[in-house]
Amino acid sequence: MAPAKHFLFFLICLFPFLVSVTMTIPKGITMKLIHRHSIHFSSSNSQPNNMSLDLSSQAFGGSMSHLDGTISGCGAPEARPCPKDIQASLWSKAHSSVFFVEFYIKDSSHRVLAVMDTGSRLTWVHCIPCTRCHEADSQIFDPSTSSTYQNVSCRSFYCEETMHHKCSELGNCEYTMFYTGAAPSSGSLSMESFIFGTSDDGLVTVPDVVFGCSHQSHEHPDLVMGVVGLSAKMPSFATQFGGKFSYCVGNIKDHAYEYNQLSFGDAAIFNGDVTPLVVDPSNGFYFLDLEGISLGGTMVNLPTGTFRKRDSWHGGVMIDSGSEDTYLPVEVYYILAEDVRKTVSQLRSQFRGRYGIRRLCFEGNMSTDTEGFPILRFHFPGGAELAMEAESLFIQTETALFCMTLATKSEPLFQHFILGINAQQYNNIGIDPSAKKLYIQRIECDLLLH
């Protein structure tokens, strides 16, 4: 009996490895998105709900700085060119992002909650050895313990597509990522198996995912565990699945809602209204044309050509899954804010500014004072639209003060329009860069599972 028991124990230990080895590469995958305030989120990453306005305001500075030439003195006539590779502040992204992707590296002992970011081209995680590994409560991935880990050659296509890469003495690809307001992050471009939880509570292994193994970073590993890059530039995770993907988010104030999801490849859902998608060739960001904004069925009187995309750094509407709020050009914001103020003229209003951000606020209670408030709609070519009811358009920031979730920058020349996840809730968003199309479907996300 003893040999039989030993053999059974051997099979039990070997089974997980047999499963991962025999698993074929999926053509599509759907995974759950984890809300930053849900019970599934790591407590070390969570922040009190009442900090949301401060955090999103701080994050805005980081989100803007890789777009807005006026901050760094670039992009203007006779000024130095704007950098194409500056990423938003990591700390800011971690706290302003509403949804995170949960996955495991190599096996279930290395759990990662990474920012879902359409504005990043590199997926990366912390790896041993790293600058602050000793501070982490979570287990950090150690490549030396994995038989499936591989270094990417500096001669590979993936390395050539990675910003600021160089060859190590062994011929491996090394990268450096630059961030606004923070020290650079650097490491090795690598390949490893990632394990994702699917929407039906199963697990699926994706072998040979190209990602950054970060060894040099000043970010706390438990605070910023990683990023899942979804831009249209290699070597983002989206491009490794053919570039097309979709995501569906419900009410972002409902932290217990479990049907928020992200789908890649053949599993991506493309239904609803269609509008042209513009991919910026310099950075892989996703842009839309906007025909106008209406409030209660009446179009807001905005200057002609306000939203026309002129170049990589000016104009257009950028889709950003890593930003909670929506940010409008200065002139557009104040015209819209005046229309909103007239609609609730019975309330005292004021513009609040912090961290270089300005937004319209009202004295009162959001739930009772915005009852019957008209719907705000963003109108895109082809008949597609995104609607924001009062619940999406306002947030209670203090006991007797609520503010718009739409904001702008204090600088008078600010001209960017960033469409955050707040304006996208209650919708399934399908992004197909090769077809140059974006799909918008108003739907409860749980209906997509049937």
Which of the pair, 126 or 355, is modelled with greater confidence? 126
- Beta-strand ranges (E) seen in 328-444 are 349-354, 357-363, 376-379, 385-388, 394-398, 401-404, 406-409, 417-419, 427-432, 437-442
Q: Which of 61-65, 154-158, 319-323, 358-362 has the lowest mean pLDDT?
A: 61-65
- Residue 45 scores a pLDDT above 50: no
- Residue 153 scores a pLDDT above 90: yes
- Residue 252 scores a pLDDT above 90: no
What would the pLDDT profile of 46-60 be if each residue is shown by its tens digit?
343 333 444 444 444
List the structure tokens of 148: 């499936």
Task: Check residue 53 and give its pLDDT.
Answer: 45
- Beta-strand ranges (E) seen in 130-172 are 150-151, 165-167
Residue 197's H or E segment, with its range, is: strand 185-197
Classify the phi-psi angles of 391: left when phi > 0, otherwise alpha if psi is within -120 to 50, otherwise beta.
alpha
User: Do 273-449 and 26-265 have the same topology in CATH?
Assistant: yes
State how far Cα 304 lies from the chain centre: 30
Residue 186's H or E segment, with its range, is: strand 185-197
Provide CB contacts within 8 A for 445, sequence distance 6+.
248, 249, 250, 257, 259, 260, 261, 428
Half-sphere exposure of 372 (CA within 13 A, CB side): 3
Which of the pair, 255 or 372, is modelled with greater confidence? 372
- Beta-strand ranges (E) seen in 259-364 are 261-265, 273-279, 286-288, 292-295, 298-299, 317-319, 326-327, 349-354, 357-363
Asked if 212 contacts 227 with a C-beta cutoff of 8 angstroms, the reply is: no
Decide the pairing of beta strands 292-295 and 317-319.
unpaired
Decide the pairing of beta strands 292-295 and 376-379.
antiparallel
Domain regions of the chain by residue span = 26-265, 273-449
Backbone φ and ψ of 243, nearest 5°: 95, -30
Classify the phi-psi angles of 296: left when phi > 0, otherwise alpha if psi is within -120 to 50, otherwise beta.
left
Counting beta carbons within 10 angstroms of the beta carbon of residue 362, is it exposed (0 to 12), middle (13 to 18) or buried (19 or more)?
buried
**In 10 A of CB 200, how many CB atoms?**
8
Q: CA separation (Å) from 194 to 23, 96, 211, 245, 371? A: 12, 25, 10, 18, 46
**β partners of residue 326:** 406
At 255, the pLDDT band (50, 70, 90 cuts) reads confident
At 312, the pLDDT band (50, 70, 90 cuts) reads low
Task: Check residue 38 and give its pLDDT.
Answer: 64
At 43, the pLDDT band (50, 70, 90 cuts) reads very low
- Distance between CA atoms of 163 and 161, rounded to whole angstroms? 6
Mean of all residue pLDDT scores within the chain: 79
Q: Which CATH superfamily is domain 26-265 in?
A: Acid Proteases (2.40.70.10)
Assign a CATH topology to domain 273-449: Cathepsin D, subunit A; domain 1 (2.40.70)
The conformation of residue 83, written as its DSSP 8-state character, comes to P
- Distance between CA atoms of 180 and 363, rounded to whole angstroms? 34
pTM (2 d.p.)? 0.82
- Distance between CA atoms of 103 and 31, rounded to whole angstroms? 9
Task: Check residue 21 and give its pLDDT.
Answer: 33
List the structure tokens of 212: 């950054």
- Distance between CA atoms of 353 and 296, rounded to whole angstroms? 27
